[in-house]
Amino acid sequence: MLTLPRATPAEVDLVEDGGTTVLRVRAASGAGGASHGLSAAPAATPRLSWRWKVDRALDRAVWGARSGDDFAARVYVAFDFPLDRLTFVERAKLRLARFVYGDDVPAAAICYVWATGVAVGTSGWNPYASRVRMIALRSGNERAGQWVDEARDVERDFRAAFGESSDAPVPGITGLALSSDTDQTLESATAWFGDLRLGPRP
């Protein structure tokens, strides 16, 4: 389970949808989801694929603002970024984040989101975590209520987000997390996730 301090936990369960078992996350003025620790090399398994569905996009979410930092659905990829490569300020911010949110806060992460009010492809740093890069894969209600297939090259996304050169290895993947959060906007949303896989490029 994935929970946040001072946030009402989301309801997380496995349900049947179209004859297949999927993960469902219901957030009502709260936040949470499910996380899975792993050890994977992006060079060998850079392709992350999954499908997701939301009942609705959030009405009051505001991209880049702490007061509106909510998304109907999120998929996090955490990386084992070496702490000695962070600046002093970045290490201080990370220590504070881990003090508030727990030791699982990564030193670098990509977060794919179902957003509101921004164009698909929009990216930026999370207003609460300066080492989490947000990428909007879906936005608004156009595909709400429908399963949507996604596939991302996490190695390339990491290099683009964190400025890693092409000859430097991307840090290993340490975990994946699936969530929905509405604790800032005090809305309700339900997200479903299925068929999450890491594998080689086609």
User: What's residue 152's pLDDT?
Assistant: 98
User: What's residue 103's pLDDT?
Assistant: 64
Q: From the CB of residue 66, how many other CB atoms can be counted at a distance below 10 Å?
A: 10
Backbone angles phi, psi at 120, to 5 degrees: -60, 135
Asked if 158 and 108 count as a contact pair (C-beta separation under 8 A), the reply is yes
User: What's residue 131's pLDDT?
Assistant: 86
User: What's residue 98's pLDDT?
Assistant: 60
Q: Which of 77, 97, 70 is closest to 7 using CA atoms? A: 70
Residues in the chain with pLDDT values less than 70:
1, 3-5, 86, 94-104, 165
Distant-in-sequence contacts of 88-91, Cβ < 8 A, 24+ apart: 90/130, 90/131
CATH 2.60.120, domain 8-199, yes or no: yes
User: What's residue 97's pLDDT?
Assistant: 64
In tens, the pLDDT along 127-182 reads 988 889 999 999 999 999 999 999 999 999 999 998 876 778 899 999 999 999 99
CA-to-CA dists, residue 185 to 76, 147, 194, angstroms:
20, 24, 26
Please state the length of the chain.
202
User: What's residue 92's pLDDT?
Assistant: 73
User: What's residue 101's pLDDT?
Assistant: 60
Classified as helix, coil or strand, 25 is strand
Backbone angles phi, psi at 161, to 5 degrees: -75, -40
Structure-block tokens of residue 176: 């994946």
- Residue located via tokens 């080689």: 200
